[in-house]
Amino acid sequence: MNNFVGDGNGYVGNLDLKPEVAHTLSLAADWHDARQKVWGVRIAPYYTHVRDYIDARCSSASCPDGQFNVLKYVNQSARLVGVDLSGHLLAASTPAYGDFTVSGIVNVTRGENRDTGDNLYNIMPLNAKLALTQKRGRLTNTVEAQFVAAKHTVSDVRNEVETSGYSLFNLRSSYAWKQVRLDVGIDNLFDRGYALPLGGAYVGQGMTMSINGIPWGIAVPGPGRSVYAGVNYQF
């Protein structure tokens, strides 16, 4: 009955499981101006091979689609391939309004079970962040946009729930003194409704003591509009 991966399935343990061993090959290329303040671009691809990756298989003759099933933990072979791309550009610098910097980051990862050909569970789809930051003296203001693609590359054995793409917008401001910094912000400015690609299955309704007394196919929703404030003190 244990479920530590949040997919709603039941799991049978395996006392013969071996620990995972991962080997990663990564490269990074970085281009920037001489002072590293005006512009910069960094690209970092990577490849990871995992021996004895702890995945799952059906514990019975069949595991139907569109429902939760009972699975068993097993060691298999897996690989993950991805790339991180980031950059920044000083777009403007004025005496009256300070410096304006555009920055962004893009991530994409693909994971495959090499024994079964299935997709690995809980892999983030293509996502990106783009931010415009104004810095004037001790004051810093940021407008950030986050974009996440639809998740259709899912784990078949777990009947992983697909999610739709979405975009979020956030606002942040901070004011710093010598040892104190005040932070305020709004996340999900437009109160967008969306499902978390890595949130797993929502199992909070129905007959929760029965594996399929809970509706299948509901992803965990992301947070709505959130307003926050904080004070940081360095000593």
Give the count of domains, the chain.
1
In a domain, 160, yes or no: yes
| Structural domain of 223 | 25-50+79-233
In a domain, 60, yes or no: no
Listed as ranges, residues in the chain with pLDDT below 50 are: none
Indicate if the alpha-carbon torsion angle 144, 219, 163, 62 is positive or negative: positive
In a domain, 8, yes or no: no
Give the model's pLDDT for residue 217. Answer: 92
Give the model's pLDDT for residue 1. Answer: 53
Q: What's the gap between Cα 96 and its chain centre?
A: 38
Which region, left, alpha or beta, applies to residue 32 given φ > 0 means left and ψ of -120 to 50 means alpha?
Answer: beta
The pair phi, psi for residue 194, each rounded to 5°, is -160, 165
In a domain, 74, yes or no: no
Q: 191 in helix, strand or coil? A: coil
The CATH number covering residue 182 comes to: 2.40.160
Give the model's pLDDT for residue 55. Answer: 95
In a domain, 61, yes or no: no
pLDDT, tens digit, 9 for 90 and up, residues 201-211: 998 887 767 78
Give the model's pLDDT for residue 59. Answer: 87
In a domain, 167, yes or no: yes
In a domain, 131, yes or no: yes
Could you give the CA distance from residue 47 to residue 50 in angstroms, rounded to a whole number?
Answer: 10
Give the model's pLDDT for residue 61. Answer: 81
In a domain, 108, yes or no: yes
Give the model's pLDDT for residue 99. Answer: 96
Could you give the CA distance from residue 141 to residue 189 in angstroms, rounded to a whole number?
Answer: 15
